[in-house]
Amino acid sequence: MKNTDFDTDVVVVGCGPTGATLANLLALGGVRVLILEREDEIYPLPRAVHFDDEIMRVFQTIGISEKLKEMVQINSGMRFVDKENNILLDWPRPKEIGRHGWYPSYRFHQPDLETLLREKLHTIDTVDMKFGTEVLSVTSNKLYAEVFFNDRSSGLSTSVRSKYVVGCDGANSIIRSVIGEEKHDCGFQERWLVADVLLKEELPELGDRTIQHCSNTRPITYCGQPKNRRRWEIRLLDEESELEFTKPSKVWSILKKWINPKVAELERTAVYTFRSMVSKKWMKGRLFIAGDAAHLMPPFMGQGMCAGIRDVANLAWKLVAEIKNQAEAGLLDTYESERVPHVQKYIDTAIKLGGLINATDPTNAFESSKKNTKNGTTMKSLYPELGIGLGSFLGSNLKKHRGLIASQPRLSKNQLMDDLSGYKSVFISRSPIKRLLANISELPFLCIDTIAEPRLNQFLDDLSVEAVLIRPDRYILGTAKSFDEQEALISIRY
Ligand SMILES: Cc1cc2nc3c(=O)[nH]c(=O)nc-3n(C[C@H](O)[C@H](O)[C@H](O)COP(=O)(O)OP(=O)(O)OC[C@H]3O[C@@H](n4cnc5c(N)ncnc54)[C@H](O)[C@@H]3O)c2cc1C
């Protein structure tokens, strides 16, 4: 099939945060994208309220971080307390710029983020978006994928052909059902009421930390959001009916400890069933899934959406390389193998935290926690290693740090490193690049040496290496200590 026979390069099904981020990244890589989204409007009510510094880097890559940072609140962390307010577990998030060049943790309003992502997409010629279109089915063969969809206002059905289809179509994904419905249920299922309220006046006594009120009868989460929006999440007991529980009188009776209708208004209430699952298959031929379509986790770490953004950061550049005929065989297969164990770490931790919230037992609440007898246990943020994939089979020296996210230092003129490398792989070395490239005609990545950017010396010192190769999703592919190892590293193709 000729390139011109395809209607587009990639069809993205669903324009939630996962789909909209993917489309932005694909467009950065110069491929054509069609987004098919069932709803006419953005889902108007808040779901996610937190994302972290790694995710802000993806937004930086896309080019929305400057606007986004005006809309967020810097988060100072989360505390798990018992009925007497004793701290069982503390997860402090310093209000200082961290090693990724951003604050470690942000609070935000999900519709604000989705609006920014879509506004950006509207400015890109190679992205076409169809709202109010429901994907009904998809087929795939060796040559192309075909997506069948319905225009909900006219009722007309049509289809498009593309090289790849990515289902970012949420928990009930139609693309997942075509790939194969099998899911690994990680065992968590609880009903929680989510109540978003708008404060009518300042209530500083609520504090700016997220508080998990642990209890084996009525666990409750409190968290702030930008401006005057605040959230409480309250677990329903098995015998409690959703209808009864969402009545304003019931909600106010639970919240009266903190607020009342004089000082706040209920913006909305909804009962969600928090689940945990990972799809066993994330890809089949030309079809892929990402985000909630591929995995679900309870929101106690604020990582469900973040995990979806990590999925598409991993997948997008691989799809770009494949579409531009620049990929080595098997590159796309590394998407599933790298992402599944990574997201599983977050799911497992979120479930453990769920156990603590429900049972008030801090023992083994978090694997990287430190015992601190005065103030409970302290938890650190997770930065797990990718599963088996690119670089896994390099020699032991070269694969040191492989699969870990690289940090992002500020360079000369205060530039952030990702802004210098752009949406490309980057090779950073202490050796003069001219010398390294003496026998190489062309490299598919950007090369920077510490002669041009002396601040990168500290970055290499922190890794205890002479050179590092970083992928476009900012994960480390490999490192080198000697000149020979550096030559081996830059000859890797993927
Ligand atoms: C109460 C709550 C709190 C949360 N808190 C956090 C948090 O603090 N941090 C965090 O990271 N995550 C959090 N999450 C999780 C986060 O909200 C989700 O992980 C995230 O919204 C998933 O994004 P997505 O784009 O993958 O899926 P969705 O947002 O569900 O988007 C899927 C899109 O696909 C469209 N679609 C579906 N089927 C079709 C079809 N057949 N044809 C066309 N379009 C289709 C839908 O209309 C929708 O727009 C929370 C979730 C909840 C419920």
pLDDT in tens, 20-66: 999 999 999 999 999 999 999 998 776 899 999 999 999 999 999 99
Instruction: Give the model's pLDDT for residue 396.
Output: 85
Q: Cβ(107)–Cβ(226) under 8 Å?
A: yes
**Statement to judge: residues 179 and 292 lie in one domain:** yes
Residue at 124 is within a domain: yes
Which amino acid residue places its CA nearest to atom 14 of ligand 1? Answer: 48
According to the model, what pLDDT value does residue 327 have? 86
Dist. CA 222–CA 443, nearest whole Å: 51
Of 421, 353, 359, 410, the closest CA to residue 381 belongs to: 353
Hey, is 130 helix, strand or coil?
strand
pLDDT at 295 over 50: yes
Looking at the fold, whether 15 and 163 belong to one and the same domain comes out as yes
Residues 86 and 147 in one domain: yes
Q: Is pLDDT at 315 greater than 90 in this prediction? A: yes
Q: Which domain holds residue 470?
A: 412-490
**Can you tell me the mean pLDDT for 338-354?**
96
Calculate how far, in angstroms, residue 249's C-alpha sits from the geometric centre of ligand 1: 29
In a domain, 326, yes or no: yes
Q: Which atom of ligand 1 is least distant from the CA of 291?
A: 26
8 A C-beta contact, residue 195 and residue 223: no
Confidence band, pLDDT 50/70/90 cuts, at residue 6: confident
Convert 4-15 to b/e letters by CB count within 10 Å (16 or more is b). eebbbbbbbbbb
Give the rounded percent of residues in the chain with a pLDDT score beyond 70.
96
Q: Is the pLDDT of residue 463 over 90?
A: yes
Q: Which atom of ligand 1 is nearest to the CA of 192?
A: 1
Query: Which residue minimizes the CA distance to atom 18 of ligand 1?
Result: 305
pLDDT of residue 172: 95
How many structural domains compose the chain?
Answer: 2
Q: Distance (Å, rounded) from C-alpha 199 to C-alpha 221?
A: 17
In ligand 1, the atom with minimum distance to the C-alpha of 135 is 42
Confidence label for 397 from pLDDT (cuts 50, 70 and 90): confident
* Residue (of 428, 309, 289, 369) closest to 58 by Cα position: 309
For residue 19, give the ligand 1 atom closest to its CA: 25
Same-domain check for residues 324 and 175: yes
Residues 302 and 438 in one domain: no
**Half-sphere exposure of residue 276, counting CA atoms within 13 Å on the CB side?**
23
Distance of CA 349 to the CA centre of its chain: 16
The CA 102 to ligand 1 mean position distance, Å, reads 24
Give the pLDDT score at 5. Answer: 72
Which atom belonging to ligand 1 lies closest to the Cα atom of 168?
Answer: 26
pLDDT band for position 291 (50/70/90)? very high
Look at residue 136 and tell me whether its pLDDT is greater than 50: yes
Q: Which residue has the least CA distance to atom 27 on ligand 1?
A: 170
| 39 Cα–ligand 1 center, Å | 13
- pLDDT (0 to 100) of residue 439: 73
Please report whether residue 224 resides in a domain: no
pTM: 0.96
Among protein residues, the one with the nearest Cα to ligand 1's atom 6 is 48
CATH number at residue 308: 3.50.50.60
Domain co-membership, 453 together with 348: no
Digit-coded pLDDT (tens) for 191-237: 999 999 999 999 999 998 999 999 988 999 999 999 999 999 999 99
What is the CA 183 to chain-centroid distance, rounded? Answer: 20
CA of 276 to the centre of ligand 1 (A): 14
Q: Cα(411) to centroid of ligand 1, in Å?
A: 36
Query: Confidence band (pLDDT; 50, 70, 90) for 262?
Result: very high
pLDDT at position 451: 94
pLDDT at 1: 62
Question: Do 60 and 169 belong to one domain?
Answer: yes
Distance from the alpha carbon of residue 215 to the mean position of ligand 1, in angstroms: 28
d(CA 199, CA 123): 35
Q: 109 and 21 in one domain?
A: yes
Stretch (H or E) spanning 248: helix 248-255
One domain, residues 62 and 169: yes
Query: Using CA positions, which residue lies closest to atom 5 of ligand 1?
Result: 48
Domain with residue 440: its CATH number is 3.40.30.120
* Predicted confidence (pLDDT) at residue 118 exceeds the cutoff of 50: yes
CA of 138 to the centre of ligand 1 (A): 21
Average pLDDT over residues 423-433: 94
Domain annotation covers residue 481: yes
Residues having CB closer than 6 A to ligand 1 are 13-19, 36-39, 47-51, 134-135, 168-170, 174, 194, 272, 291-292, 299, 302-306, 308
Q: How far apart are CA 293 and CA 144, in angstroms?
A: 22
Is 209 contained in some domain? no
150-158: average pLDDT: 95
Pocket test for ligand 1, best of 106, 172, 292 (most atoms within 8 A of CB): 292
Q: For residue 113, give the H/E element and its range.
A: helix 110-122
| Residue among 11, 22, 38 to mutate when testing ligand 1 (max atoms within 8 A of CB) | 38
Whether residue 308 is contained in a domain is answered as yes
Mean pLDDT, the chain, integer: 93
Say what the pLDDT of residue 232 is: 97
Say how many Å lie between the CA of residue 493 and the centre of ligand 1. 35
Q: Are residues 163 and 52 in the same domain?
A: yes
Q: Is 271 domain-assigned?
A: no
Residue 2 has pLDDT above 80, yes or no: no
Ligand 1 centroid to 231 CA: how many Å? 18
Beta strands in 200-298 (DSSP E): 210-213, 220-224, 229-235, 264-279, 283-284, 287-289, 295-296
Confidence class for position 241, pLDDT limits 50, 70, 90: very high
Pocket test for ligand 1, best of 49, 135, 138, 169 (most atoms within 8 A of CB): 169
**Distance from C-alpha of 59 to C-alpha of 56, rounded to nearest angstrom:** 5
Question: Can you give the pLDDT at residue 440?
Answer: 74
Q: Whose CA is nearest to atom 20 of ligand 1?
A: 305
Residues 305, 359: one domain?
Answer: yes
User: Is residue 360 in a domain?
Assistant: yes
Q: Which atom of ligand 1 is nearest to the CA of 36?
A: 43
Please, which pLDDT band fits residue 368 given cuts at 50, 70 and 90? very low
pLDDT higher than 60, residue 69: yes
Q: How far apart are CA 134 and CA 113, in angstroms?
A: 23
Residues 340 and 444 in one domain: no
